[in-house]
Amino acid sequence: MKKHLTKKEIKIPIYTGTLLLIDSNSKKKVKKEVKNFDKHEIYATSVLFEHKSKTGYGIVFNFDYKHAKISHGVIAHEAYHISSFIAEEHRIQWDPANDEPFAYLINWIVDQIYLFTKENNLKVHLEKY
């Protein structure tokens, strides 16, 4: 299978920073975009990185991964990690009496991921349990 990398950079509203979404089956190509990327294999992972002297938040997917498909649950899982990174960076404390900041972030991140998948014709799978 040919090595590829597709990416999209999105300015994060309200909070500062950039969300970087990547679909790739090439660790070498991902390392050119995310210098501190150190995963052995690419499936789905969230990373913090430096982007134009500011903190960047990245999710690297491999929609061609041979051992597992990217599911709706995987997207939610990675969106949660990114929302936690953003919250930590902005010193937002999780509060069960007011979880709106996390709900907003997860909602926005998931929407951005689905737009990315639609724009790039990437298939998200529904897991059958």
Distances, alpha carbon 49 to alpha carbons 12, 22, 37, 81, 96, in Å: 15, 13, 9, 14, 29
Burial classification of residue 38, based on how many CB atoms lie within 10 Å of its CB (0-12 exposed, 13-18 middle, 19 or more buried): exposed
Q: What is the pLDDT along the chain (129 residues), one digit of tens a residue?
A: 799 999 999 999 988 889 999 999 999 999 988 888 888 889 999 998 876 667 789 999 999 998 999 999 999 999 999 999 999 988 888 888 888 989 999 999 999 999 999 999 999 998 776
Q: Which amino acid appears at position 5 of this protein? A: L
Give the CA dihedral 87, 115, 18, 125, nearest 10 degrees.
Answer: 60
pLDDT at 1: 79
Which residue bears the tokens 């900041």?
101
CA distance 72 to 115: 13
Task: Find the helix packing angle between 100-119 and 72-89, rounded to 10°.
Answer: 130
CA distance 47 to 119: 22
pTM listed for this prediction: 0.92
pLDDT at 51: 65
pLDDT at 41: 85
pLDDT at 52: 65
Which residue bears the tokens 């990114």?
82
